[in-house]
Structure 1
Amino acid sequence: MNSNNRKLRRTVLCMALGLGLASLAVPAAFAGSNDGSVVGHTAAGAVITVNNTATGFTRSVTADAKGNYRFPFLPVGTYTLESSKDGAPVGHAVNVTVSLGNATTVNVGGASDATALEAISVSGTILPGVDVSSTESATNVTREQLSRIPVDQNITSVAILAPGVNRGVAGFGGISFGGSSVAENSFYVNGLNVTDFYNRNGFSSAPFAFYQEFQVKTGGYSVEFGRTTGGVINAVTRTGTNDFHFGTETTLEPGNWHSRADDHYRADGTRYLTAGKDRDSLVKLNGYVSGPIVKDKLFFFAMYEARGATPRNTNDDGTVLTSNGSDTGFWGATIDWHVNDSNLLSAMAFSDKDKNVGDVYDYDYENQQLGGKTNEIYTDTGGKNWALTWTSYLTNDLSMKLMYGRNNRESFNRGLSDLECNRVATDGDIPLPGIGLGCTTNSLVSKRNDVRKQARADFEWTLGDHLLRFGYDSEKNTSDYDRYYPGPGALYYNVYQAAPGSSISNPSGGVVPAGYTGYVRARRYEISGTFETTNSAYYIEDNWQVTPNVLLNLGLRRDGFDNKTGDGDSYIKMDNMIAPRLGFSWDMHGDGTTKLFGNLGRYYLPVANVINIKQAGGLLDERTYYAFDGWQTLDRNGSPYAMPILGPQLGGVDVSQGDGSVGDLRSEVDHDMDQVYQDELILGFQQMLNDKWSWGVSGTYRRLHNAIDDMGITQTPCGPLLDSDGDPTTQWVMANPGSKVSIWGDTNCDGTPDGYVDIDTAKHGWAMYDSDGNYLGERGWVKPKRTYTAMEFQIDRAWDDKWAFNASYTLSWSRGNAEGPVNSDTNFDDTGRTENFDDPWVNFGGDGYLPNDRRHQIKLRGTYAITPQWQLGADLQILSGTPVTGFGSGNPYDATSYHSYYICVQNCGFIPGEVDADGDPVPYPSEQRVYERSPRGKYGRTPWSYDLGASISWQKPIGTDSRIKAKFAVYNLLNSQRTLGVNQDLQTSISDSTSDTFGEGVRFQSPRFAQLTVSVDF
C-alpha cells in the first residue's frame, strides 16, 4: 500500500470516533447556526457527491486544483460521500455525519491521478473529531446522547455539561459562562435568536422533545455570532424524512418522587426559611409524527406536548401556601422543501406559551393546617415563534443562506386581590406579628409583550486557499410594557429595622427618631409604553489556508445598537462597533489527529430593553419614608393580616428615578457613550490518542471593558447641583462610570442649559458635604473591571455501543469590581441598572473575586451498556464555593448608605448625653464615624457542592424500525442540600451593630427527585 493510502487509512480510522467525541469541548466549525459542513481533500478535479438517503438530498462539488473541496450549509444528518474522477471511483463510499456547527473532515485520496489510488474499505461513520478548520470552542450534545445520561429536560441542564458553564449563583437563576454574569448570553433555535431582550436573563424554549442537537459555544465563536460577552447556546430541531415515523413519549415526576426540602433555623431555634412542604409534580405526554409530503422533496415534523405541572410552595414564614397548576399544551413543527439540489426552504415554528394559576391559602405550618383561600395569582408567559430559511448553492464555490423570523415572549402577572391589597415585606430583622403581612402575595402587576423581528443573510465564497464568509444581521425588538404595584395607591411597603438616630437610605434626608426601632418605605412605581430597539451587524471573515497544515482565521464584525424612547426617538445609539477576530489552527501532524489552535477576539454587549423602559419612558418612582410604629391587624374575607402603622414622615418624598414624565433625555444619557465589550484570548491543544480516546487542554483569558449603568451626578463644572430650594440634588444619568460623560447642561454657568457639558467621572461628578451640609469638594468613580482566567482539561472516550466517558476539570479565577449588568451577590437582576455606580462609594474598594468565581469545577459523565438492551448512565458535578462578602451600609467619605465595602465600627450611633431641642438623641456626625474595610470574599466561601445523577435505561426493538425505550433517572442521588448562597448584608443600616441574619443560607441545592421517561417510536 502506498503512503497516501496509509495516511488515508489512519485519518479515517481516527475520525471514526462516534457521537461521544462530538461532546468534547473543542473547536467547532465555521458553519451556520442551524447546519454543518463537510470539508476535505481528494484528487484534483474530482467530483465529490454527498447524498442524504433519508431525504434524497444530493449535492456535488468539484475539487480545486489542490484537491480541496467544501460542502457548506448542510442540514444536520447522515450522508453518503463519494468521490470520482473521469468516471473512476476514488476510494469507497463512506457515511458522514454532519453535526450542528461542526465541519466534518473527510480526506479521500491525495494524488491528482485517481487511477493510482487503491480502494479502501471504511467501516463505521465518519464524524466530527479534531476539526482543524476551526478556532472556536464548543460542546455538542445530541438527542441520542441525552437519552443515555441523566440530564433533566431543560436547556440549562444541557448547557452546564460544558466546562466553565454553571448555573447563576443568585436567586434569579440564569447561566454563567466563563465568569460572566447571567445577563450576557445568546440563545438560538434554527438560527432564530430567542434571547430575552428585556433583561437578557432567559430565552424562549421549545418542548425538549422538539430538539435534535445542541451546541454550547463557550468562547472564540466566529463573526456571525455577536451581542454577547458570555456564551451562546445553539439548538437545531428535529425534521422529517422519506419514511413515516410517529411515536409518543411520557415523562413522569410525581410529587412523592421528590425528597423533602430542609427547613432552616437560626441559632435560637427560630425558623427563617420554610421549605418542608414545597413540592414539584410534573406529567408530560408528547406525541409526534413525521414523514414525506412529497418523497425526496417535501417533509414535515410535527409534535404536541400536553403538560400538567402542579408545584406547591410556602412562603419563608410558613404562613402562606401557594398551589400552582399549569396544563398548557406545547407544540412545534418543521417543514423542509428541497426545491432542487441547489435550493432548500425550511420553516420552523413552536410555542412555549404557558398559563399558570396559583391558588393562595393561609397556612399554619406548625400544625400542618390549611386555612382559607386568600388570592389567585395568574401568570402568562411565552409565545409563538417561527423562522423561514432559504439556502442556495449558487455555484460550486458560492453559497447563500437567508433567514427571517419572529420571536415572541409574553409576561403577564396579576392577582385577584390587586385592587384592594398592598404588598408588605420586611428585612427579616423586624419582629413579626404572627399573622400574614399585607393581604396579597402578589408583588406587582405587570404585563409585557416582547416581539423580535429578525432577518439575516449569510454567504460563503471559496477563492482558492481562501474561504470568505460574510453577511448581515438585523433585529427589531419591541416591548409593550405596563407595570405597577397592587393595592390602594399602588404602594409597596417595606419595613426595615434601624436604631434610633440611624440615617436611612433617602437622598432627601431622614433619621429614625427616638422611640422607634425601624422605618417604612412606601414606594409607588408605575410605567407604561411601547419601546423599541434595533440591532444590526455586518461581518466578513477570511479563512486562509496558508499551508496544507496551517489555517488563519481573520474576521471583522461591525455592530450597531439603537435603543429608543417611548416616543420612538433614539435614546442610546451606538454604531461602528468594530469587533476583530483573529484565530489560527495548526494541524501538527497533517493527519487531523493533533491540533494547536488559538483565538483572539472582541465581543460587544447590547443594552437591554429594560433600560429604555425604565430610563427613557414615563417612569414614576416615588419613595416616601415613615417611622415604623408597629403593626395593625386588619381583615379580608375572614382572614386577618397585618399592615405597618406609619409614624412621622422622615425627610421629603424621594423621586428616585423618574417623576412620570419623559423629560429632556439629553441630560439623562451620556451623549458620547462608549460600548461595553470584552476581549478574549484562547490558546488550546487537542489530540486523538486512538479511534476512541482523545484529550485536550486550553487556556482562556477574558477582560470586560466599560459598563453602562445609572450614575447619580451631583456636580458639574459649574458646581454642585441644587434644586429650586437651594438644596443638593441628583441628576441620574445612563453613562460609563469612571469615564468622560457628556450630558446636556449649563456650559456658561448662567443657570440655563445650553449645550453639552463634559465631566471626567474618574475624578469629578460627585459633590461631598459634611453632616452640617458644608461643601467639601468633589470625587469621581472607580472604573469598572472584570477579568476571567481559566485552564480547562478534558478527556473523552467515544461511545462504541458499549461505553462512553467524558471528564473535565476547570481551574479558574474571576476578579474585578463589577460582575456585569446584574449583581448576584446582592440579588439585583435589573439589568444595567445596578447600584454599583449610583455614587462613587458603592463600589469603592470593591476589588476582589467576583460572585461567579469558582476556583475548581470537576464534571464527569458516562454511559455503560450492561447488555444491548440495558444501559447505566451517570453525571457528577463537583464545584467549589463562591465568595462571601460582608456588605456594609455607608462609607467613611460620605453620608450615603448604599451597600458598600465598609462597615461602621465606632461612633455609629448617638453622642452620649447629647440631645437636641426636642430632647431626642443626637447622632454622631458622619465625618466622625469610624469605618473599616470589608473587602470582597473576606468571609470565606460557600461550601463545595456535589451533584450526582444516575439513570438506568432499557430499550427493545419492535419489528424493523420501531422500538420502546424507558429511562429512570434520579437527580441529586445523594440528596445533598448544601448551601449555594448566603445573606451577605453585614450591616443593613449605619449603626454599631451587625445583622443577626448575616451568613444565613438563602439558596440551597434542590432535593433529590426521580423522573421516568417512556417512549415508543414507530
Structure 2
Amino acid sequence: MAHALTIAFAVSAGSVLVSGDAHAASNSAGDIVGRAAAGTVITIENKSIGLTRTLTVNKNGDYQLTMLPPGTYTVRAKRPDGSTEERQVAVNAGEGTSANFEAQTNTVVVTGRLQRIDVKSPESSMVLNEAAIDRIPVARDVTAVALLAPGATRGDSRIGQTTLRAGNVPSLGGASPAENVYYINGFNVTNMLNGVAFNQVPFEGIAQQQVKTGGYGPEYGRSLGGVLSITTKRGTNEWKGGANVIWEPESLRGKSIYTEAGKTTGKWLVAERPGGTDDLKANVWAGGPLVKDKLFIFGLVQGADIEAKSYGVSTQTVTKSTSPRFLVKADWNINDSNTLELTAFDDESKDKVRTWGSTVPYQTPRGAERLPDEYTTGGQNYIAKYTSWLTDDFTVSALAGLGKYNRGSNVGSAACNYIRDDRTSAQTRLGCATTSSITDPGANDERKAFRLDAEWNLGDHGLRFGLDNEEYKVVDGTKNPGGETILIKTLAPGSDLPSGYVNNTGAPIDFLQVRHFENGGAFTTKNSAYYLEDNWQVTKNVMLNLGVRSESFENLNADDKTFIKVDNTIAPRFGVSWDVKGDQSMKVFANLGRYYIPVMSNTNVRLAGAELDYTDYFVYTGTNSNDAFQLPGRGAQLGERTVSGDGTAGDPRSVVDPNIKPMYQDEFIIGAQQALANRWTVGAKFTYRKLKKVMDDMCNGPGAEAWALSNGYDADQAAIIGESINHCFLYNPGGDLTANIDLGDGKGLSEVVIPAASLGFPKPERKYTAIELTFERAWDGVWNLQGSYVWAKSRGNTEGYVKSDIGQDDAGISQDWDYPGLMEGSYGDLPNDRRHTFKIFGAYQVTPELRLGANAIIQSGRPLNCLGYYSGNLDTVSILYGSSSFYCNRTLNARGTVGRLEWTRELSLQANYQPKWLKGTTFSLDVLNVFNERGITSVQEAGESARGTPSPNYLQPLSFQLGRSVRLMAQYEF
C-alpha cells in the first residue's frame, strides 16, 4: 500500500517537478523537450484538442517535440525494459517545457515541491496565461499587463495618444516606446508608421500574453525594446462558452483634475473638475468541436458603449465609441502530422467627438456647439498558419497574414484655423477649430507578411532556421485646419524671434506665430530577414545558443522609387545557460546580442514626401472678430518668413546617405535563478544595453557650406552643397555624411563626403544599465506572490525613435540631430529613466468561493528639463525650433539637471466571488489605484515663449496617474 501511495504522489507532483521551461522558437507555439534512456518511446497527448504524437528517444538520450499548440499535455514514457511513467505538463507559447524520464524511482524526495525553473534558455521573459491575468487587479489591456514585467515603464502620455485615452505604450529595457514589436498568434501587428500603435484582439479573447524584455533569439527582430506576444483562445473537444458584462462607471472614478498657476505661491495647483469616462463592455463567446479531434472553432464578439466627457479652459468635449469587435479562430488537425490554423479579428473603432465652447473654464456651462469630428483607429487582420511534423526530428511551419489599420479622420471644423492664446498659463482656444492637426481622411496602413520557421533535432544540436518577409503600405498626410495654426504670444523687451526680429521697443508686445504645414502621399516599406540558430547541448548541464539574424530594409517614396535600401545586416546572438546542480533547481545564464530596428514608414512620409512648412510672425492688434472663421487681428510682419519645407519632394538619391546603416543596439545580460522549497524562486540579473547607431535626419546646411568653402569648392558649389543639406539628409548622426548632390557642372549627381567634425554633431549615445531582483511563489490553488525591484539608469543624448521631452513621435525624423545647437547639452538622464521601481502582485483563495488579489507599484520620478530658444553659437538656425534646445532663458541646462518629478505609488485590489449555488457564475470587483494617487507623470518642459521671455506654462503638469477606477464584472460560463 505504501508503495502505491508513493507512486501516486510522484505522478501527481509531476506537473510541479517539470514545470521549468526550455528554449522554443515560435511565439505562438511551444515545445516539450527532455531526456530519457535511448529507445524510450515518448507519447504526448492533449485530449482537449485531439493531438497525439509519438517518437523514440535517440541514442544521445534527448528528445524534442516542437511547435505544439499551448495547453496541458500528458507525457508518457515507455522504457526499453517495459516500465512506464506518466506526468502532466503545461506548454506555453514561445517557450519549452522539460519532461525528463532519465531513471525510474519508487521514492519521492522532500524537494518534490521545488518550483523547477527554466535551465535551457537565456531569455528574459514573463508569461501570464488567462487564469493568472484574471487573478491580478490590472487594467484590461496589453500594455497594462506588460507593465507588470521587471524593467517595463509606461511611456509619455503624448506618445500614441488617441481621442479616448492618453498614450498607452510601454518603454521596455530603457528603449523608447516606439521600439517594441507586437505579435498575435505569430503575426506581427505593430503599426509600422511610427511604432507606437498595434492591433489588438478583444481582451477576453486572450489565452496567454508573453513579454520578452531581453536576450531573445534570432527568430525575433525589428525591436530594440521588447517583444509582446499574444496567443488567442481556441476551440477544444468540449463545447464551452460564456458571456460577461464589464462596467467601469464614471460615478465611481476619481474626479478629473486640472492645473492652474497659484495666485500667490507661484506654484502649480491641482483642482478637481467635472468629467470622466463611463466604460461599458459586453462579451459573448463560444468554442468547441465541429468534428471531434479534427476541426475546432472559437468565436467572440465584444460590444461597447464608452463615453468620455472632458472640460477644458475654453472647450468641452464628449467622445463616444460603440464599435463592436470580434475574434474568430479555426483549427484543423488535418492528420497526425499536419495542422492548419486560421485567425480573423477586427479592432476597428470609430470615436465620435462633439465639441462646445466653455463659458466658464473647467465647468459644465456650455457655449455654442462646433461641428462634430470622427476618428478611426484599428482594422481587420487575417492570419493563416500551417504546421507539419515531417519526421520525429524535423518540424516546419508557414504563416501568412494580412493586417489593416485605419487612421483616418473626418473633422467637421476642417475649414477653421486653430487659434490659441498662450499669453497666460490658462491657454485659451479661440475660433471654431476642434484640433490643431488634421490627418488625411483616407489615412491607412496595410501589411502583407509571410514567414517560414523550421526546427531540426540532431541530438546534441537543435537547429532552428527561418525567414520572414513583410510589405507595408501606408497612406498618410497631415495639414493645419483652415490652413494655419495661430498662436498668440508675448515678446518681452530685448527678446527676439526666429524670424530675426528683436523687440527694441522697450516694452512687451503681443505677436502672432502663424504656421502653415501640409504633407502626405502613399508609400511602401519592405522588410525581410532570415535566421539560423544552433541550440547546442555542450554537456548534460550546459546549453549554448549560437545564432545569427540577417535583416534587410527597403523604403520607397511616393513615386515607388527606392530611397533607402540596406541589405544583409548581421545580428549575432549568443547565449549560455548552465543547470548548476543538474536538477533544474539553479541556473546561471548569460546573453550577448545585436538587435536592429526597421526604418519606420514615418520616414517615408516626412523625408521622401512633399512637405510644405513655413512660419510667419505678426504684431497682434487685438481685434479678434466674432466671426469664428476670421483670423485674429494682424499688424506688421515681424522679420522674415522662416521656411522648413518648400513643398517639393527631392530626388530620392539626394535625401539619403547611400552608406546609411539602420539603427541598432548591443545587449549584454548575465544572471542567476534559484528554486527554493514550497514553490518559491528568486533571481538576480544585470543588463547593459548600448545604442550603436542612430538613423535620423540632419539639416546643417551652413556647416556643410563652410566646410565646402574650406575644401576646394567655389562659392557657387559651396552654396549648392549648403542648400542641398538644408533640405535635410537622412544619415547616421555622429559620422561622416555621404551626399549625392548636383553641383551644376553638367555631371549630374556627384558624391560629396562631408566629415563628421564639420557637421558639429556629437556621437549618439544611449546606455541602459539595470540590476533586477525578482521573486515568485507559484500559484498552487491557494495563493501566489510575485514581485521585483529594479535599479536602472538610462543616460545618453537621444531617446531613440521618439522624443518624449516634447511629445514628438516622428520616428526617424525627430528634431534631434537637425542642427548642432539642438544637441548641445543633450547628454544626461533620458525621459524613460526611472532609477527605482518596486512591483508586487499576488492572490489568495480565502474560501472555495472567494479569492482576493492585490497589485502594487512604487516608482521614482522622471528627470526634468528646461527647454528654450537656442542661445549658443554652434549655429544660427536652431532658434527657429522655438523652445526645443537645452538653453533656457539664455542659460545652458544639460539634460535632466533641473530636478525630477516625485515618486508615484499605486495600489489596486480585487475580490472575485464564484458562488457554489450558481455554478459557472463569477462576480468580480476590481478597484484600481485604491487611494486615488494622482502623481504627476509629465510636465510642460518648454521654459520660454520667445528667447528671453519666460513661458507662463513652464512645469505645468501635462499628465497624472490615472485616478481611482472601479471595475464591476458579472460573468457566466458553461
Place the TM-score, normalised by the shorter chain, in its bin: over 0.9
In the other structure, the counterpart of 2:677 is 690
In the other structure, the counterpart of 2:162 is none
Residues 618-697 of structure 1: pairs in structure 2 closer than 5 A: 618-636=610-628, 643-657=631-645, 659-697=646-684
Aligned mate of 2:596, from 589, 592, 604:
604
CA distance in 1, matches of 2:60, 2:888: 74
Secondary structure, in 3 states, of the residue corresponding to 2:251? helix
CA distance in 1, matches of 2:262, 2:748: 58
CA distance in 1, matches of 2:291, 2:257: 57
In the other structure, the counterpart of 1:984 is 941
- Deviation track 1:881-916 (CA, whole Å, cap 9, x = no partner) reads 1111122321321434245665466xxxxxxxxxxx
CA distance in 1, matches of 2:846, 2:520: 60
- 1:243 partnered with 2:199: no
Verify the 8 A CA contact 1:452 1:477 in the aligned structure 2: yes
In the other structure, the counterpart of 1:362 is 357
CA distance in 2, matches of 1:127, 1:470: 34
- Deviation track 1:758-791 (CA, whole Å, cap 9, x = no partner) reads 1122x113xxxxxxxxxxxxxx111111000000
Deviates more, 1:405-414 or 1:888-897: 888-897
- 1:1013 partnered with 2:972: no
Secondary structure, in 3 states, of the residue corresponding to 1:535? strand
In the other structure, the counterpart of 1:552 is 544
Shift in alpha-carbon separation, 1:904–1:29, aligned structure 2, 3 A: closer
The Cα RMSD (Å) is 2.9
CA distance in 2, matches of 1:752, 1:214: 57
Unaligned regions of 5+ residues in structure 1, if any?
Answer: 111-116, 766-779, 906-930
- Deviation track 1:776-808 (CA, whole Å, cap 9, x = no partner) reads xxxx11111100000000111111111110110
Tell me the TM-score normalised to structure 1 length: 0.88
Identity, in percent, stands at 35
In the other structure, the counterpart of 2:185 is 190
- 1:484 deviates by 2.1
Verify the 8 A CA contact 1:788 1:813 in the aligned structure 2: yes
Verify the 8 A CA contact 2:262 2:269 in the aligned structure 1: no
CA distance in 2, matches of 1:446, 1:342: 48
In the other structure, the counterpart of 1:531 is 523
Aligned mate of 2:728, from 718, 727, 732:
732
Verify the 8 A CA contact 1:97 1:127 in the aligned structure 2: no
- 1:450 partnered with 2:445: yes
- 1:939 partnered with 2:898: yes
Deviates more, 1:967-976 or 1:129-138: 129-138
Secondary structure, in 3 states, of the residue corresponding to 2:802? coil
CA distance in 1, matches of 2:10, 2:236: 33
In the other structure, the counterpart of 2:468 is 473
Shift in alpha-carbon separation, 1:292–1:652, aligned structure 2, 3 A: same
Verify the 8 A CA contact 1:438 1:643 in the aligned structure 2: no
Secondary structure, in 3 states, of the residue corresponding to 1:632? coil
Amino acid across the alignment from 2:679: K
- 1:814 deviates by 0.5
- 1:741 partnered with 2:731: no
Shift in alpha-carbon separation, 1:604–1:1005, aligned structure 2, 3 A: same
In the other structure, the counterpart of 2:561 is 569
- 1:710 deviates by 1.5
- 1:427 deviates by 4.1
- 1:298 partnered with 2:286: no
- 1:374 partnered with 2:377: no
In the other structure, the counterpart of 1:33 is 27
- 1:142 partnered with 2:138: no
Amino acid across the alignment from 2:892: R
CA distance in 1, matches of 2:75, 2:747: 75
Aligned mate of 2:808, from 825, 828, 842:
828
Shift in alpha-carbon separation, 1:840–1:61, aligned structure 2, 3 A: same
Shift in alpha-carbon separation, 1:210–1:891, aligned structure 2, 3 A: same
Amino acid across the alignment from 1:733: F
Verify the 8 A CA contact 1:891 1:902 in the aligned structure 2: no
Shift in alpha-carbon separation, 1:46–1:631, aligned structure 2, 3 A: farther
CA distance in 2, matches of 1:482, 1:672: 29
- Deviation track 1:524-550 (CA, whole Å, cap 9, x = no partner) reads 222232100000001000000000000
Secondary structure, in 3 states, of the residue corresponding to 2:624? strand
Amino acid across the alignment from 2:900: R
- Deviation track 1:740-771 (CA, whole Å, cap 9, x = no partner) reads 11111257x9597541101122x113xxxxxx
In the other structure, the counterpart of 2:102 is 109
Verify the 8 A CA contact 2:854 2:909 in the aligned structure 1: yes
In the other structure, the counterpart of 1:769 is none
Unaligned regions of 5+ residues in structure 2, if any?
Answer: 160-166, 710-714
Secondary structure, in 3 states, of the residue corresponding to 1:390? strand
- 1:599 deviates by 0.4
Shift in alpha-carbon separation, 1:11–1:469, aligned structure 2, 3 A: farther
Verify the 8 A CA contact 2:529 2:550 in the aligned structure 1: yes
CA distance in 1, matches of 2:430, 2:660: 47
Amino acid across the alignment from 2:90: T
Amino acid across the alignment from 1:567: D
Secondary structure, in 3 states, of the residue corresponding to 1:455? strand
CA distance in 1, matches of 2:722, 2:466: 56
Shift in alpha-carbon separation, 1:725–1:558, aligned structure 2, 3 A: closer
CA distance in 1, matches of 2:33, 2:455: 13
Secondary structure, in 3 states, of the residue corresponding to 1:868? coil
CA distance in 1, matches of 2:308, 2:299: 29
Amino acid across the alignment from 1:822: V
- 1:861 deviates by 0.3
- 1:69 partnered with 2:69: no
Verify the 8 A CA contact 1:76 1:100 in the aligned structure 2: yes
In the other structure, the counterpart of 1:772 is none
Secondary structure, in 3 states, of the residue corresponding to 1:666? helix
CA distance in 1, matches of 2:341, 2:315: 49
Secondary structure, in 3 states, of the residue corresponding to 1:333? strand
Verify the 8 A CA contact 1:377 1:442 in the aligned structure 2: no
CA distance in 2, matches of 1:86, 1:628: 93
CA distance in 1, matches of 2:141, 2:451: 27
Shift in alpha-carbon separation, 1:668–1:255, aligned structure 2, 3 A: same
- 1:363 deviates by 2.2
Shift in alpha-carbon separation, 1:710–1:477, aligned structure 2, 3 A: same
In the other structure, the counterpart of 1:394 is 390
Verify the 8 A CA contact 2:868 2:885 in the aligned structure 1: yes
- 1:936 deviates by 1.7
Shift in alpha-carbon separation, 1:29–1:629, aligned structure 2, 3 A: farther
Secondary structure, in 3 states, of the residue corresponding to 1:356? strand
In the other structure, the counterpart of 1:492 is 485
Tell me the TM-score normalised to structure 2 length: 0.92
Secondary structure, in 3 states, of the residue corresponding to 2:605? helix
- 1:590 partnered with 2:578: no
- 1:994 deviates by 3.2
- 1:934 deviates by 0.7
In the other structure, the counterpart of 1:257 is 252
- Deviation track 1:231-257 (CA, whole Å, cap 9, x = no partner) reads 110010000011111210110111101
Shift in alpha-carbon separation, 1:724–1:686, aligned structure 2, 3 A: closer
- 1:121 deviates by 8.7
- Deviation track 1:636-687 (CA, whole Å, cap 9, x = no partner) reads 5xxxx88432222234333313x22222232221111122100000001011
Shift in alpha-carbon separation, 1:272–1:513, aligned structure 2, 3 A: farther
CA distance in 1, matches of 2:512, 2:8: 77
In the other structure, the counterpart of 1:713 is 700
- 1:279 partnered with 2:279: no
CA distance in 1, matches of 2:959, 2:260: 14
In the other structure, the counterpart of 1:502 is 495
Amino acid across the alignment from 2:304: R
- Deviation track 1:83-108 (CA, whole Å, cap 9, x = no partner) reads 113582432x2111101212111111
Secondary structure, in 3 states, of the residue corresponding to 1:887? coil
In the other structure, the counterpart of 2:164 is none
Aligned mate of 1:156, from 139, 143, 158:
143
